[in-house]
Structure 1
Amino acid sequence: MTTESLATVQRELAPVISQADLEVAEELFAALDVLDSSAGLRRSLTDPSREPVARAAMVKSLFGGKVSSATASILEALVSRRWSRERDLGDAVEIMAVIVVTRQAEREGLKGLENLETTLLDFRRTVASSHEVQRALTDAQARPEAKKQLADRLSPGVSSEARLLIDRAVTKPRGLRPTQLLERFSEQIAERQQRWIAQVTVAKELDSAYVERLGASLDRYFGRELQLDVVVDPAVVGGIRVQVGDEVVDSTVATKLNELHRKLAS
């Protein structure tokens, strides 16, 4: 139910998310802090006996006028869905915040996403390589501002998107080590990158001119400039198979034969 609920919210609010800026991500993280601070609130907002409209009204009373309309829409949509566990709602808010951040980076295309992921992983490696830094960032007595200042010294000149996620990881890791949360953020970004990579499977090598024409055609078809990853697999027999994220375009002989076998066997 949790995965389905999150996917539904992403589909329904795609236009809102696409227009959201980093302020929305910051507000979502702040709302997450409120949720994490109150078990009673989490129970109320995930109580399946309460009508979705009532749960949305609770969010409106808590955050109305304090956050942007985009943030309010996302929060109301999330609490209107059903969640398997109380914590799942908070996890969903966190995921949506990271999605907003990745969409900002994505305005530079695949390069923007790659740069964001690389920055987070570089910082993660820096922290992991020093026991002293790890102790400083996991010290429960240390002030959040001190941790942010240390993170800033270790990652100077990074983008606003990277700074937001790094600061979040070192100040509010939600029961994880900062390096673990950064890895989770990076996995989300890597998943998003798949929308910009076309995995092309063919039976034999393609010449450069054909690859160029194919790339231009796929860019038009998917509505964005894709990076082609061409794999030669004689098993496809002929034709071409293209996968971009979850979307697959398959015109291979192997697939057509398999479909024929299934029809004959049915």
Structure 2
Amino acid sequence: MAGVSSGSLSTALTALEAKLPAASLQLAKELFGILGTVDSSAGLRRALTDPSRTGDEKSALVRQLVGGKVSADAAEIAGGLAGSRWATARDIGDALETLAATVVIAVAENKSAVSASGITGLEKLENDLFSFNQTVASSHEAQRALSEPQASAAAKIALAERLVPHASEEAKVLVGQAVSQPRGIKATGLVGRFAELAAKRQQRWIATVGVSRPLTEAQTSRLQGGLNSLYGRELKVNVTVDPALIGGIRVQVGDEVVDASVISRLGQLHRQLAG
């Protein structure tokens, strides 16, 4: 997805963030259900990407279609997508799939640490998705069954759950979606995409800190507290020593980089002089 569609998806993801702290699996299931409706009708997809229709008209079409059948949040999200611009008819479906998966991932993220293993809900989700793909890759019988066009969606979902019996509820939703509505690719390929989304979201809360010399325990504690306060949540802080930084500190959290090292400032000065 690129160009105008990429921009529309980015806008939708930003708007979705406000709903994620209280998100539920039911919301994700409703969004996946709307995706199924969109995918089942070429006429609807054309109507939702028709450049001659205004965004308000397309948004109203979707709200009318799903009104009373899903929650207000699901209708709002789907309506917002319909009102945006999309380069191709498939792009709006891809975006809806991404938003639904993001809701599932956020539900896992909002869980407290798993008491038995000490890992977070998000880590558990990633592990379960990886385990499913590994199990399918090792079984030709499972691969044939999941790709059998005559098999019902319910049968494929039941098989998938047997393959990873201890998977979390979040993983079951994503795996079930992948095997029942792979949307033109292998189910394991779609599960892989979901795993990438989960990994990317988890990366948002890992702070990679580069320093020119080792920190004391007190400095590390102050660094942890400062970063937690800055980002409004507990971060996992990985500190690496890189003498090439000369001095200062370089922090990366997800895609955001704060570079206050001497070498960075020297580079900035050099670019200004070369100007």
Interval of TM-score (by shorter of Structure 1 and Structure 2)? over 0.9
Report if aligned partners of 1:104, 1:161 keep a CA contact under 8 Å in 2.
Answer: yes
> TM-score, length-normalised on structure 2?
0.93
Alpha-carbon offset, residue 209 of structure 1: 3.7
Deviations 1:4-37 (A, max 9, x none): 1111112234223433211110011011111111
- Number of the residue aligned with 1:103: 106
The CA distance in 2 between the partners of 1:100 and 1:244, in whole Å, is 21
If the length of structure 1 is used for normalisation, what is the TM-score? Answer: 0.96
Partner of 2:258: 249
Distance 1:158 1:131 in 2: 21
Indicate the residue corresponding to 2:139 in structure 1.
Answer: 130
Which aligned segments of 4 or more residues in structure 1 are displaced greater than 3 angstroms? Answer: none
Contact 2:101 2:194 in 1 (8 A): yes
C-alpha distance in structure 1 between counterparts of 2:20 and 2:54, whole Å: 25
CA distance in 2, matches of 1:174, 1:150: 19
Matching residue within 185, 194, 197 for 2:206: 197
Aligned positions of 1:156-235 closer than 5 A: 156-235=165-244
Aligned to 1:265: 274
1:91 aligns with 2:79: no
Amino acid at match of 1:185: F
Q: Quote the residue 1:51 is aligned against.
A: 54
| Number of residues of Structure 1 aligned to a counterpart in Structure 2 | 266
Contact 1:42 1:86 in 2 (8 A): yes
Give % identity: 50
Match of 1:5 in 2: 8
Structure 1: tracts of 5 or more residues without a match: none
Contact 2:20–2:107 (8 Å) recurs in 1 = no
What letter corresponds to residue 205 of structure 1 in structure 2?
A: P
1:249 CA drift (Å): 2.0
Q: Any unmatched runs of 5+ in structure 2?
A: 113-118
> Would the aligned equivalents of 2:206 and 2:238 in 1 still touch at CA under 8 Å?
yes
2:125 to 113, 116, 123: 116
- Between the aligned partners of 2:51 and 2:11, the Cα distance in structure 1 is 17
Tell me how far apart the structure 2 counterparts of residues 154 and 78 of structure 1 sit (CA, whole Å): 34
The worse-fitting range, judged by mean Cα deviation, of 74-83 and 208-217 is 208-217
The aligned residue for residue 116 of structure 2 is none
Tell me how far apart the structure 1 counterparts of residues 40 and 20 of structure 2 sit (CA, whole Å): 26
CA distance in 1 between counterparts of 2:220 and 2:51 reads 52
Equivalents in 1 of 2:16, 2:138: separation in Å?
40
